Amino acid sequence: MIQLKVNGSARKFDGDPEMPLLWYLRDVLDYTGTKFGCGAGLCGACTVHVNGEAIRSCVTTMKDAAGKAITTIEGLGAKQEHPLQAAWKQCNVSQCGYCQSGQIMQAAALLKAKPKPSDADIDSAMQGNICRCGTYQRIRQAIKIAAEVKA
Instruction: Enumerate the H helices of 16-135 as residue ranges.
Output: 21-23, 62-65, 73-76, 83-90, 100-113, 119-126
Q: Measured between alpha carbons, how far is 83 from 72 in angstroms, rounded to an integer?
A: 16
In this structure, the answer to whether residues 70 and 100 fall within a common structural domain is: no
Q: Tens of pLDDT along 85-128?
A: 999 999 999 888 899 999 999 999 999 999 999 999 999 999 99
Using the 3D structure, point to which of 51, 76, 101 is the last residue of a domain.
76
In this structure, the answer to whether residues 95 and 132 fall within a common structural domain is: yes
In this structure, the answer to whether residues 71 and 108 fall within a common structural domain is: no
Q: Measured between alpha carbons, how far is 149 from 95 in angstroms, rounded to an integer?
A: 24
In this structure, the answer to whether residues 6 and 70 fall within a common structural domain is: yes
In this structure, the answer to whether residues 95 and 65 fall within a common structural domain is: no
pLDDT of 78? 64
In this structure, the answer to whether residues 89 and 68 fall within a common structural domain is: no
- Among 1, 131, 113, which Cα is nearest to 66's? 1
Domain that holds residue 101: 83-150
Q: Tens of pLDDT along 6-41?
A: 999 999 999 999 999 999 999 999 999 999 999 999
Using the 3D structure, point to which of 76, 98, 128 is the last residue of a domain.
76
What CATH number is attached to the domain comprising 131? 1.10.150.120
Model pTM? 0.93
For residues 149 and 116, the model is more confident at 116
In this structure, the answer to whether residues 24 and 71 fall within a common structural domain is: yes
